[in-house]
Structure formats: structure tokens, C-alpha cells
Amino acid sequence: MAQIKKERVPPGIRVALAMLGFYLVLKYVVRPPLPFSVIFMYMCMALAGAIMYLTLFYNIKDAVITPLYTFLGGGVEGGMAKGGRYAVLVAMPLLVWFGSYEKFNKKMQPPLDSRVIHPAPPVEFTGLYNPYRVEDKELFKKYVADGKEIYYRNCIFCHGDLLNGEGIYAHGFNPKPANFQDPTVLPMLQESFLFWRISTGGIGLPQESTPWSSAMPRWEAMLSDEQRWKVILFLSEYTGFSPRTWE
């Protein structure tokens, strides 16, 4: 019978190191960052898996419980280990104290208005096509130039000269103006959606989008249908993003 290869590292330590590595991956590698509650859930599942592994392949008592008990109980030998034990015994109560103090000392925060940024438009604003998106290249170019003038006369103060939502008044409004240079904005929206938002502005939003906070004017009171469609042409030509089409 082949001799069983002797383990170089105790199984408990190997499992602990694996769990630490998994935690570091969840915290620092996964993007966008995971909220604490999700990390906690994954770590609980990993812990359950670790316990099953140790139970199936090792005596969990000998691998984990006895060393832990011995360490905390004071049955360690050697100055380094004794020092480590005392450090742990002192650190744990202090960490618990500061952790729970932090929880109880939470500063009150104003209530946050969660909002739906891109709600469904009303039926009269669905399925519309931009009548100024024409085949004639010269005519199209003229329409874009008209749209540019409309943007610079009306939209630049909030959406900015870079079309990045950082105009000179942007910092005073909540929510902030849209950043048209962001690839998750124009390419995700249909032109009829844009036409709706430009036409009815903030007050045309449904309740779930907090219409009481939006500074977006109701442009249908100030700009004609033609002007509103033309400015949409300018947005897509200047940024290089094409609005989403109907599938």
C-alpha cells in the first residue's frame, strides 16, 4: 500500500487561507464593488463549504476546535506564540467596542430620494421617428447645425459645452443634468424617449422619478417640435453616439 504523503500545512490553515483569498477577491477584484451584505452572504456560503470539507476529509475537532481552544486557553509554548495570544485577547474586545460604537454613533442622514432615471414614456411619445434624420447629406448637415444653435442657446447652461452635464448651473441642481458623453446614456435611449424628456421636462416625469426635483424645463413651452427634434440630431452627431433603434 502506498504511503500517504505527509501534509506540509495543517488543513485548518489551508482552508482559512483559501477563505481569506476568496474574501480579498470579492472585495478588491470584483467590479463594480459589492455591497457588504452580498459579501457577507458569499462568505457564509464559503464558510459552510469549508466546514463540510473539513468534516468529510478530516476530523474537524482535531483540525480546528482543539487548536483554537488550546491557543485561547493558554496552552501555547514559545514567546512569540504567547505574545500573539495576548495580542489577540486584547485586540478582540477593543475591536468589538469600536465596531459597535461606530454603529450606535451613526450620524443622522437626510432621507434619500431614490428615483428611476429612465422611466417608460407615455404612449403618445412611443414609436416616434426623427423626421429630420434625412438621407440628403447636405440637408442633414444643415439640420445638425440648426440643432447646434438651439443647444448653445438653451441647453449649454446645464448640460455644458462638453455635453458632459457640467454646465455652470449643474452643481446647484439635484439630480444633476445628464452627461451625454457617457456611453450608457444616448446609446441606450430611443429618439422618441429623448423627444419626450425634452418636451415635457421634469414636471412630465412620473412619480417614481421624483419630478419635484428636476430642473429640466418643459421645452414644449419654449421650443417648437422642429427645434426639439433638431437638437436631438446635434446630440448624437457631436458625441458620436447613435440613439437606440427599434428592434
Burial (0-12, 13-18, 19+ Cβ within 10 Å), 83 = exposed
Least separation, in Å, of the C-beta of 234 and another protein?
A: 10
Would you say 46 and 7 are in contact if contact means Cβ atoms under 8 Å apart?
no
Contacts with another protein, 42-81, as mask; x by CB under 8 A: -x-----------------xx-xxxxxxxxxxxxxxx-xx
Supply 45's cell numbers.
456560503
Contacts with another protein, 158-177, as mask; x by CB under 8 A: x-xxx-x-xxxx-xxxx---
Least separation, in Å, of the C-beta of 162 and another protein?
A: 5
In the region spanning residues 94 to 153, those forming contacts with another protein, defined by CB under 8 A, are: 94-102, 104-105, 108, 110-111, 113, 148-149, 151-153
Nearest CB to another protein, comparing residues 182 and 226? 182
In the region spanning residues 183 to 222, those forming contacts with another protein, defined by CB under 8 A, are: 183-184, 201-203, 207, 210-213, 215-218, 221-222
Residue 70 DSSP class: H
Cα(223)–Cα(225) distance, integer angstroms = 7
Q: Cα 173 to the chain's mean position, in Å?
A: 21
Would you say 226 and 132 are in contact if contact means Cβ atoms under 8 Å apart?
yes
Neighbouring-strand partners of residue 190: 244
Residue 125 DSSP class: G
Select from 8-16, 117-125, 129-137, 186-194 the region that touches another protein (CB under 8 A).
8-16
DSSP per-residue letters across 93-112? HHHHHHHHHHHHTPPP-PPP
Residue from 1, 4, 6, 35 touching another protein (CB under 8 A): that is 35
Neighbouring-strand partners of residue 244: 190
Least separation, in Å, of the C-beta of 110 and another protein?
A: 4
Residues that bind another protein (rule: CB under 8 A) add up to a total of: 98
Least separation, in Å, of the C-beta of 198 and another protein?
A: 13
In the region spanning residues 81 to 100, those forming contacts with another protein, defined by CB under 8 A, are: 81, 84-85, 88-89, 91-100
Least separation, in Å, of the C-beta of 136 and another protein?
A: 21
- Interacting residues of 58 by C-beta distance below 8 A, sequence separation 6+: 11
DSSP per-residue letters across 59-83? -HIIIIIHHHHHHHHT---SHHHHH
Nearest CB to another protein, comparing residues 65 and 120? 65
